[in-house]
């Protein structure tokens, strides 16, 4: 059974102050292979938890969408939701999921992509969302992970860190 936990932290070697609140994000080079590795962990876990911030208050909620499009890892939500408003105000986010004694933490910026073709791809790969969303509506939005660093950890082995 997949269980997830939440942690809010971001650090790395080459860092840049990239927001209003002073938290650091590591600049990374896009890497489709590593994006696929992170996606597979999230899919295997089933549910992951997305942490955002609203001013000085963290907010965490469960998510399930994680799809690759053009080598980038995407998630999906609705523009009417607070998570959308929080990510537009501050794109820094952290994702955490747990499965089989391991957990992944992904520190990233979530960048909106308004293209119909990426929304359609997301909904085609997650057909249960079609009862609530449509790629042509004014509500559906997808975000891709930029400057993403993932760490897979466990209590029995050294952490594995990779960027995408």
pLDDT tens for residues 114-133?
Answer: 999 999 999 999 999 999 99
The more confidently predicted of residues 163 and 26 is 163
Is 134 part of a structural domain of the chain? Answer: yes
Is 135 part of a structural domain of the chain? Answer: yes
pLDDT tens digit sequence for 5-55: 333 333 333 334 444 445 568 898 899 999 999 999 999 999 999 999 999
Closest by CA to 5, choosing from 104, 82, 75, 87, is: 104
Is 5 part of a structural domain of the chain? Answer: no
Is 38 part of a structural domain of the chain? Answer: yes
Is 150 part of a structural domain of the chain? Answer: yes
CA distances in angstroms from 24 to 9, 67, 93, listed in the order given? 9, 26, 11
**How many domains would you assign to the chain?**
1
Provide the CATH number for the domain around residue 87.
Answer: 2.30.110.10
Q: Tell me if 142 sits within 8 A of 74, measured CB to CB.
A: yes
Closest by CA to 144, choosing from 91, 73, 93, is: 73
Is 99 part of a structural domain of the chain? Answer: yes
pLDDT tens digit sequence for 63-106: 999 999 999 999 999 999 999 999 999 999 999 999 999 999 99
Is 1 part of a structural domain of the chain? Answer: no
Is 111 part of a structural domain of the chain? Answer: yes
Q: Tell me if 61 sits within 8 A of 49, measured CB to CB.
A: yes
Give the domain extent around 67: 15-163
What the block records as the tokens of 39 is 């996606």
Match 């962990």 to its residue by tokens. Answer: 41
Tell me the whole-structure pTM to 2 decimals: 0.85
């Amino acid at each position: 059974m997949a269980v997830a936990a939440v942690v809010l932290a971001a650090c790395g070697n080459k860092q840049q102050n990239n927001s209003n609140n002073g938290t650091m994000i590591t600049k990374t080079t896009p890497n489709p292979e590593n994006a696929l590795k992170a996606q597979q962990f999230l899919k295997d876990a089933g549910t992951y938890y997305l942490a955002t911030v609203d001013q000085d208050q963290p907010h965490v909620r469960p998510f399930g969408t994680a799809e690759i499009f053009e080598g980038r890892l995407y998630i999906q939500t609705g523009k009417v939701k607070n998570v959308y408003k929080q990510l537009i105000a501050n794109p820094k986010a952290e994702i955490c999921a747990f499965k089989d004694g391991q957990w992944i933490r992904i520190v990233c910026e979530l960048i909106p992509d308004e293209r119909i073709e990426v929304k359609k791809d997301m909904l085609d790969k997650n057909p249960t969302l079609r009862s609530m969303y449509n790629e042509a509506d004014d509500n559906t939005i997808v975000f891709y992970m930029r400057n993403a660093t993932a760490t897979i950890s466990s209590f029995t082995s050294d952490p594995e860190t990779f960027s995408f």
